Amino acid sequence: MELPLPVIFDWLRAVLWPLFRIAGMLMVMTTIGGGPVPARIRLLLSLVITAAVAPVLPPPPAIELFSPHGMVVTAQQLLIGITIGFVSLLVISTFVLAGQIIGMQTSLGFASMVDPTNGQQVPIVGQFYLLLTTLLFFAVDGHLVMIKMIVLSFDTLPIGESLQPQSLEKIGQFVGLTFANALTMSLSAATALLLINFSFGVMTRAAPQLNIFSIGFPITMLSGILILWLTLGGILPHFNSVWQQGQNLMCDILQLTCEVP
């Protein structure tokens, strides 16, 4: 059986452009888009998701696939997917940054290991928060929520339409909010350690013969471990709050009616 060329191009448009949007999200999103996940696995996952949802997606516009306009549409799909994946990366980076702040304040920042996401040496406290929030991300089905959003976006943001300029502005505001959330989360630990260091300063002033360096570092590190243990209970409320903010931003970018309060 021979298929006419227009039918083949219609089939390619219906598959390739959704594939680019979905693959763009999986390429950047947290955990799945990280370095430890092989590119073949991400590509295979993108193909499976596209094959599952392509029959129910709206028909793409009749734009020549290999024309300049078609190249622009391809770039738009990649940009949409990368933007959504980047938002999830910012959500997790909030807790990594908070862990780095706490690690530096508690003198635990001397212990470092390679971050599998970016291949850089980071404090081990930040890695601990990264692993913890990654487990929470999968526990609340964050990856499934993102896949659902990217599939629903083909109705609200059809192929051929680009992101609104205000969407990029909201992403910039969310980057600033990432630093604010990280500082809020680490504020209690930083305040407690400030009081401990202030106490050591008073002790040094009252008894100059004390060797503050030999006494202060062990006590500060032990206090830091104790503070980490005491503040673990606040991780889940912080994660829920930041993840809701991330979902609201994704809904605004994709012009979806977000169900998150």
**What confidence tens digit (pLDDT) does each residue in 175-188 have?**
888 888 888 888 87
Question: What gap in Å lies between CA 59 and CA 158, rounded to an integer?
Answer: 9
Q: What is the pLDDT of residue 3?
A: 60
* DSSP letter string, 29-49: STTTTSTTS-HHHHHHHHHHH
Quickly list H helices, 114-234.
Answer: 124-139, 142-156, 165-206, 212-231
pLDDT along the chain (261 residues), means of 10: 66 84 88 79 89 85 80 88 89 85 70 56 75 88 89 86 81 86 82 78 70 68 78 83 89 78 48
Please name the residue that has the structure tokens 């404090």: 123
pTM greater than 0.85 (yes/no): no
In the chain, where are the structural domains located?
A: 5-254
Q: What was the pLDDT predicted at 200?
A: 72
Q: Are 77 and 21 in contact (CB under 8 A)?
A: yes
Q: Which residue has the tokens 């940009």?
A: 79
Q: Which pair of tokens denotes residue 179?
A: 């630093």
List helix spans (H) across 29-141. 39-53, 68-105, 124-139
Q: Write out the two tokens for 207.
A: 């008894």
d(CA 243, CA 232): 17
From residue 167, give the alpha-carbon distance in Å to each of 132, 219, 248, 249, 250: 29, 47, 12, 8, 9
How far is it, in rounded angstroms, from Cα 232 to Cα 99?
11
The pLDDT value given to residue 260: 47
